[in-house]
Amino acid sequence: MVFDMMPQRDVVSRNVLLTAYFSNRDCEKGIALFCRMRREGVKLDGASWNAVIGGCLNNGQTEQALKMLGQMQESGFKPNQITITSLLPACKDLESLRAGKEVHSYIFRNCLMEDLTTTTALVFMYAKCGELELSRRVFDMMRRRDTVAWNTMIIANSMHGNGEEALLLFRKMLDSAVKLNSVTFTGDLCGCSHSRLVDEGIMVFDSMRRDHSVEPDADHYSCMVDVLSRAGHLEEAYQFIQRMPMEPTPGAWGALLGACRVHKNVDLAKIAANRLFEIEPDNPGNYVLLSNILVTAKKWEEASETRKLMSDRGVTKTPGCSWVQLRNRVYSFVAGDRSNERSEEIYKFLVEMGEKMKLAGYVPNTDFVLQDVDQEEKVGILCNHSEKLAVAFGILNLNGESTIRVFKNLRTRNMIKTIKKAPDFIH
């Protein structure tokens, strides 16, 4: 209303309204206003383009943002550090890895590599896309590193399960005299949990308040629960939760519940799941996980009751899906999928691979097959899950390439499985 009442409107007032639309999740009105500004011949500036590109990204419109980036350059405007650092975090999946590499090329060509925020965004983008080696190369090229840059590299290694490397970076960060903050410890503790470095995790956690004057928050306590749980110290993890000085988060109980499945502790699983049902009753993963634990323990009736509770509350599970990119096209798979035109070849390949793996001494673990069927059928089911189908399809279409990236949807964050240089017996 204020904008409409203004007798004169310059590009600044229009940019403010443009930003307001995107900030309030009204992406369509924001794009419509921007298009009207262009039609009416308003003299746009870099802030106008950054507002619409950043607004599209913040509203999940990555493709539209990349389209606007192209139009920005066609209009004679050069993307600046603000454009780049808003764009790179969005390049975090298979479809946008190529776009991320193109942005990296633009940064290099335009001598923006000295900008700390830009290079840190590059480090994070490559890590999220599964390119940890490229992430490390960019980090090593940085002449100056602040707290955010160090934290980003520590988190990059943690998310890829390189706990020892994350700890090494943590020690180097200490030697560099850069100030540590709470995010530093979150990243380091996550690395310890993924690599089952219990003693190291306890040491890092204890040093927070004692040596660095950083007060542990709920996330740090949840990370410590994960450190103990993944290593099989379930009772210790449960006691740790009970001693927390704040209300345990879903992350803490979820870490314990997930570990109960791996280590087959039904009693603690029930305790953790019941707390999660109270804290986040609409999260389907908690019901499914408890049901799976009960099925593995052959407690069919209790598993059925858990599924019924889920149904009665109207909670539905998202189907598991894996996807892989080949030659700029993304192929998705669900369990037992036969929609791919090469399905027959994929399943034949998996059967042949299974025989070769048995000859090499592999024994399939059927504990996680949740149907009450005989052993042979369980082995067959293991071959048909979405991730195996995506990997098989990738291998069949390698054509000399050495890396297959498989993304999955059923994780707190998208999980990336990167397979480099397939084993000899595949060839």
Per-residue pLDDT for 297 more than 80?
yes
Contact predicate 134/126, CB 8 Å: yes
Element (H, E) at 325: strand 322-326
Average pLDDT over residues 78-92: 81
Residue 415, pLDDT score: 40
Q: Are strands 322-326 and 403-408 parallel, antiparallel or unpaired?
A: antiparallel
Q: Which is more confident, 181 or 319?
A: 181
Per-residue pLDDT for 413 more than 50?
no
Over the chain, what is the mean pLDDT?
86
The three-state DSSP-derived secondary structure of 378-423 is: HHHHHCCCHHHHHHHHHHHCCCCCCEEEEEECCCCCCEEEEEECCC
Q: Using CA atoms, how far apart are residues 408 and 390, in angstroms rounded to an integer?
A: 10
CA-based end-to-end distance of the chain: 68
Of the listed ranges 95-104, 183-192, 293-302, the least confidently predicted one is 95-104
Q: What is the pLDDT of residues 194-242, one digit of tens each?
A: 999 999 999 999 999 999 999 999 999 999 999 999 999 999 999 999 9
Delimit the domains of the chain by residue range.
1-78, 322-426
The DSSP bridge partners found for residue 75 are none
Per-residue pLDDT for 425 more than 50?
no
Give φ, ψ of 80 to 5 degrees.
Answer: -110, -170
- pLDDT confidence bin for 59, thresholds 50/70/90: confident
Residue 301, pLDDT score: 93
Average pLDDT over residues 105-125: 88
Average pLDDT over residues 251-259: 95
Residue 348, pLDDT score: 92
Which among 349, 352, 357, 356 is positioned nearest to 394, based on CA atoms? Answer: 349
Q: What is the pLDDT of residues 310-324, one digit of tens each?
A: 999 999 887 888 888
Which among 88, 9, 16 is positioned nearest to 41, based on CA atoms? Answer: 9
Give the predicted TM-score (pTM) of the model. 0.79
Percent of the chain with pLDDT over 70: 89
Three-class SS state of 341:
coil
Contact predicate 4/40, CB 8 Å: no
Q: What is the pLDDT of residues 328-370, one digit of tens each?
A: 678 889 888 888 888 899 999 998 988 898 899 987 766 655 5
Contacts of 164 (CB under 8 A, 6+ apart): 191, 195, 197
